[in-house]
């Protein structure tokens, strides 16, 4: 059966002028909703000396104050349990997700019925762009316990795929499902996709030959947008990898790769994108790295106006070869994972790009940041493949030089370990250890 190319062609292929006119219209209403119905936003706008009527065009969003995770947490504690950023009564809320709370008290993300239904329609759109069709069998291998990505399986069901609600289960059980039911698509993190493939091989299962997975959706880490990491997972599984991006403070996946896999299309009919220099808070040029700042356009339970995500991205409005016109982001890493060495901004994802491109290494790595003589230094641990015959001194020099060429600053030390010595991740990999405050 021949299927249509787009989930929602009218929305996904709007001209830039039409899309931005739609955003401006939605945002003018959204700012009014936030000011009139949210105690926090009325207070924040008044303190900034700005009102919804000051918004005339998209550039006017810069008149409005930022929000961030700290503000979100403080306002939730001020008026438990949903906080006073909300713009509806609790009776209208039908679903809440929660952040992991790894950096503090978990923050909740509320949805009205309409919010939730539109959220799942975006999930269907992203699944469709990644190639999912009603003929697919899909394994949803994400945590269902308050995680915003848990309900995204509904978006796959609404699309018509046969869905297996696996959740976060032990690897042996998940491999049983993959072997027994032969699903064609799965969603997990890049680290876990690699770990699961390695585990399968140790059990005598060749993921590329013995399983039916043809597409792997990954999210939660930058690896899915790193060519070398994506290629390594694809070779292991004999499948294509599609990166998704989501944020619990707004909704699940709000950006995803299409078949062209040249950046992640962000749902700009629901979200206004700004990419700013994190120090000056001025816009950066298209294609330059900056902090992703998002503003909701339609989410009524809790509007998020100029939310600083802490994610470092590049962004382009150039139309994609797939025909979609919504802008594309590439995720570089987290602002709080970045460290500065000799005036150079270093992201773990840049180190990963190098390590994954050295064939004598397993691709696993760990970075340790520390202070020496009041100066920031870093160490990189890597694993040599058991099958590699390269001299260890030559390999160490190759790693050092490759990192220096890519990043501009050489690590203080590169430590070469045997294959399997670094810990493997069953969810998000912990690849950065910061000892500077110890």
* Both structure tokens of 355: 């390590």
Confidence of residue 58 (pLDDT cuts 50, 70, 90): very high
For residue range 331-383, what is the model confidence (pLDDT) as tens digits? 888 887 888 887 788 888 889 889 989 999 999 999 999 988 778 899 999 99
* pLDDT of 29: 98
* pLDDT of 298: 97
Spatial contact of 338 and 347, defined as CB atoms under 8 Å apart: yes
Average confidence (pLDDT) over 238-257: 93
Between the alpha carbon of residue 75 and those of residues 105, 249, 421, the distances in Å are 12, 13, 44
Q: Which of 368, 379, 363, 367 is nearest to 419 (CA)?
A: 363
For residue range 203-229, what is the model confidence (pLDDT) as tens digits? 999 999 999 999 999 998 777 888 888
Q: Give CA–CA dist 297/215, Å, rounded.
A: 31
CA 340 to chain centroid, in Å, comes to: 23
Confidence of residue 236 (pLDDT cuts 50, 70, 90): very high
Is residue 380 within a helix (H) or strand (E), and if so which, with residue range?
A: strand 375-384
Burial class (CB in 10 A: 0-12, 13-18, 19+), 222: buried
3-state secondary structure of 297: coil
Cis, bond preceding 81 (omega within 30 deg of 0)? yes
Average confidence (pLDDT) over 229-251: 93
Q: What is the mean pLDDT of the chain?
A: 92
Average confidence (pLDDT) over 384-412: 92
Comparison of pLDDT for 8 and 356, the residue scoring more: 8
For residue range 272-285, what is the model confidence (pLDDT) as tens digits? 999 999 999 999 99
* pLDDT of 438: 63
Q: Which residues contact 345 (CB under 8 A, 6 or more apart)?
A: 338
Can you name the CATH fold of 339-434?
GMP Synthetase; Chain A, domain 3 (3.30.300)
Q: Which of 151, 159, 148 is nearest to 125 (CA)?
A: 159
Measured from the Cβ of residue 277, the count of other Cβ atoms closer than 10 Å reads 13
Q: Give CA–CA dist 290/292, Å, rounded.
A: 6
Lowest-confidence region among 77-91, 96-110, 129-143, 347-361: 96-110
The domain limits of the chain are: 1-334, 339-434
Confidence of residue 100 (pLDDT cuts 50, 70, 90): low
Comparison of pLDDT for 33 and 80, the residue scoring more: 33
Determine how β-strand 432-434 pairs with β-strand 413-418. Answer: unpaired
Domain 1-334 classified CATH 3.40.50.12780?
yes
Interhelix angle 171-181/190-202, rounded to 10 degrees, is: 80
- Side-chain half-sphere exposure of 34, counting CA atoms within 13 A: 30
Average confidence (pLDDT) over 406-432: 85
* pLDDT of 102: 47
Average confidence (pLDDT) over 313-338: 92
Burial class (CB in 10 A: 0-12, 13-18, 19+), 152: buried
3-state secondary structure of 157: helix
């Amino acid at each position: 059966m021949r299927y249509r190319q787009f989930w929602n062609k009218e929305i996904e292929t709007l001209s830039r002028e039409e899309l931005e006119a739609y955003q401006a219209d939605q945002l003018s209403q959204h700012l009014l909703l936030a000011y009139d119905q949210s105690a926090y936003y009325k207070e924040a706008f008044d303190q900034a000396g700005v009102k919804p009527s000051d918004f005339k065009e998209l550039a006017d969003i810069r008149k409005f104050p930022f929000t961030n995770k700290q503000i979100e947490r403080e306002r939730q504690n001020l008026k438990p349990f949903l906080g006073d950023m909300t713009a509806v009564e609790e009776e209208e809320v039908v679903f809440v997700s929660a952040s992991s709370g790894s950096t503090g008290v978990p923050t909740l993300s509320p949805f009205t019925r309409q919010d939730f239904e539109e959220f799942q329609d975006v999930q269907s759109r992203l699944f469709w762009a990644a190639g999912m069709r009603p003929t697919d069998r899909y394994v949803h291998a994400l945590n269902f316990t308050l995680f915003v990505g848990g309900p995204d399986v509904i978006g796959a069901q609404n699309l018509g795929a046969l869905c297996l609600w696996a959740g976060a289960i032990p690897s042996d059980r998940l491999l049983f499902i993959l072997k027994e039911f032969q699903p064609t698509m799965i969603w997990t993190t890049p680290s876990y996709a690699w770990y699961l493939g390695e585990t399968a091989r140790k059990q005598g299962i060749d993921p590329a030959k013995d399983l039916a997975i043809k597409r792997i959706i990954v999210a939660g880490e930058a690896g899915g947008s790193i060519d070398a990491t994506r290629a390594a997972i694809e070779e292991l599984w004999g499948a294509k990898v599609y990166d998704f991006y989501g944020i619990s403070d707004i909704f699940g996946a709000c950006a995803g790769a299409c078949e062209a896999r040249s950046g992640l299309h962000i749902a700009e009919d629901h979200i206004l994108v700004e990419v700013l220099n994190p120090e000056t808070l001025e816009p950066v040029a298209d294609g330059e790295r900056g902090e992703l700042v998002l503003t909701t356009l339609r989410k009524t339970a809790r509007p998020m106006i100029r939310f600083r995500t802490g994610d470092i991205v590049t962004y382009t409005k150039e139309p994609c070869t797939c025909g979609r016109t919504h802008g594309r982001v590439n995720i570089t890493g987290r602002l709080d994972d970045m460290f500065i060495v000799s005036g150079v901004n270093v992201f773990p994802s840049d180190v990963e790009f190098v390590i994954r491109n050295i064939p004598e290494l397993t691709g696993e790595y760990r970075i340790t940041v520390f202070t020496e003589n009041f100066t920031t230094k870093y160490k990189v641990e890597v694993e040599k493949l058991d099958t590699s015959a390269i001299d260890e001194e030559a390999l160490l020099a190759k790693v050092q030089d490759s990192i220096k060429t890519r990043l501009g600053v050489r690590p203080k030390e590169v430590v070469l370990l045997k294959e399997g010595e670094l810990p493997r991740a069953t969810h998000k990999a912990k690849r950065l250890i910061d000892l500077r405050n110890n």
